[in-house]
Amino acid sequence: MRRGLSRQLSGFLLLLLLAHTGIIRGQEPAAATGQAVAHSSVPAEDWSLLSLTGSHLQQARSVFGEKDDFPQFTRELIQVWWREGDPIDLYVIRPKGVAKPSVVLYLYGYPSETDRFRDNDYCVRLTAKGFAAVGFVSALTGHRYHDRPMKEWFVSELQEALGSSVHDVQMILNFLSTRDDLDLSKVGMFGEGSGGTIAVLSAAADPRIKAIDLLDPWGDWPEWLRDSSIVPENERATYLKPEFLQKVAGLDPVKWLPQLTSQHIRIQQVMDDRATPKAAKERIDSAAPASATVLRYDNTMRFYDAASGGKIFEWVKNQLRPLSPSQPAAIVQKSQSPPRPAEPGHDD
């Protein structure tokens, strides 16, 4: 729960640490125009724009933390900065025996933490078949939610949460491109919930992302904000006001999905998941280009039966593999029932 004690404690501890190191100088409220309020002479961040073109964001510093070495993979924790008071914990997990593996980004939806990336069995599944995995959380999520009143949270600040996170994806790819042990020529991205939304917007902004795998993505904002189980009833009316809807209209995956005609796209919908209403799921599915694969599961049990054992991560990896000379490119059309379903945005 977003107002839970554990999140308050983790945010408080992080605030103490950052204050001790002189990083935080306090946050000001976001401007109604969709721009972050600038500190001193730093230009405002425009959350309404997907691309980093013209952005002031620059890699300020990175701190390399622990590095774990296991028989099948290595795992690094790196803290990166490009905004004041918003360090991002980045997990870079590389398979053993592959000099320069292709990269898949993993972004789970609000609310989530980075704990899964410290699970060794999970990391084995992520790096299976020789792929590197990079994990993090979105803005206003997990360790990145701190130093602001509890009434300001992911949905109340939806434009900031989505816009900042799309910028983060591009900045993370820029940071990873400075390494010589990763192949960023074709990047994949797995996104669940709000992470799926961010994956769509990031693919629209950054041509390095060639494949996106979406599990129950949020979107179709008028419908989603009206009926999603994520939104508290006592706040719902605020988010249905025209001024709020106008701010997030340009960050709707329904707008951007039809334009992603060169990327590989898979959408998986668990129909009894109430975070995204059925009508919004249908609108998102219909917005996908004809080449996309759309899979629907009647319920969570059907999804888990189909997705267990790491199969969910196979699809995006397969899209990044080079075709052999004898292997013709497959033409994938939208399908409403899975011939061989994939996995959850959960950790199986």
Using one digit for the tens of pLDDT, what is the confidence trace for 262-311? 999 999 999 999 999 999 999 999 999 999 999 999 999 999 988 888 99
What is the predicted pLDDT for the residue at 21? 35
Residue 262 lies in a domain: yes
CA dist., res. 170 & res. 168, Å (int) = 5
Which residues share a beta bridge with 95?
73
Q: For residues 285 and 269, is the Cβ–Cβ distance under 8 A?
A: yes
Is residue 333 a part of any domain in this protein?
Answer: no
CB within 8 Å of 189: residues ≥ 6 apart: 104, 105, 106, 107, 169, 199, 202, 203, 209, 211, 212, 213, 316
Q: How many structural domains are present in the chain? A: 1
Integer Cα distance of 156 and 229 in angstroms: 14
* Preceding omega of 111 cis (within 30 degrees of 0): yes
Whole-angstrom distance, CA of residue 61 vs CA of residue 325: 43
Q: Which domain holds residue 108?
A: 57-319
Mean pLDDT, consecutive 10-residue stretches, the chain (348 aa), reads: 40 38 32 41 85 90 95 98 96 98 98 98 97 98 97 98 98 97 97 98 98 98 98 98 98 98 98 97 98 97 90 96 52 40 46
Residue 19 placed within a domain: no
Q: Which tokens is 39 given? A: 């500190």
Indicate whether 259 belongs to any domain: yes
Can you give the pLDDT at residue 60?
82
Residue 314 belongs to some domain of the structure: yes
Q: Is 174 inside any structural domain? A: yes
User: Is the residue at 330 inside a domain?
Assistant: no
**The CATH number of the domain where 313 resides is what?**
3.40.50.1820
pLDDT at res. 154: 98
**Secondary structure in 3-state letters for the chain:** CCCCHHHHHHHHHHHHHHHHCCCCCCCCCCCCCCECCCCCCCCCCECCCCCCCCCCCCCCEEEEEEEEECCCEEEEEEEEECCCCCCEEEEEEEECCCCCCEEEEEECCCCCCCHHHHCHHHHHHHHCCCCEEEEECCCCCHHHCCCCCCCCCCCCCHHHHHHHHHHHHHHHHHHHCCCCCCEEEEEEEEEECHHHHHHHHHHHHCCCEEEEEEECCCCCHHHHHHHCCCCCHHHHHHHCCHHHHHHHHHHCHHHHHHHCCCCEEEEEEECCCCCCCHHHHHHHHHHCCCCCEEEEECCHHHHHHHHHHHHHHHHHHHHHCCCCCCCCCCCCCCCCCCCCCCCCCCCC
Total residues belonging to the chain: 348
Distance (Å, rounded) from C-alpha 46 to C-alpha 58? 14
In a domain, 70, yes or no: yes
pLDDT at site 41? 52
> Rounded CA gap, 335 and 251, in Å?
26
Burial 181-204 (b: 16+ CB within 10 A, else e): ebbbebbbbbbbbbbbbbbbbbbb
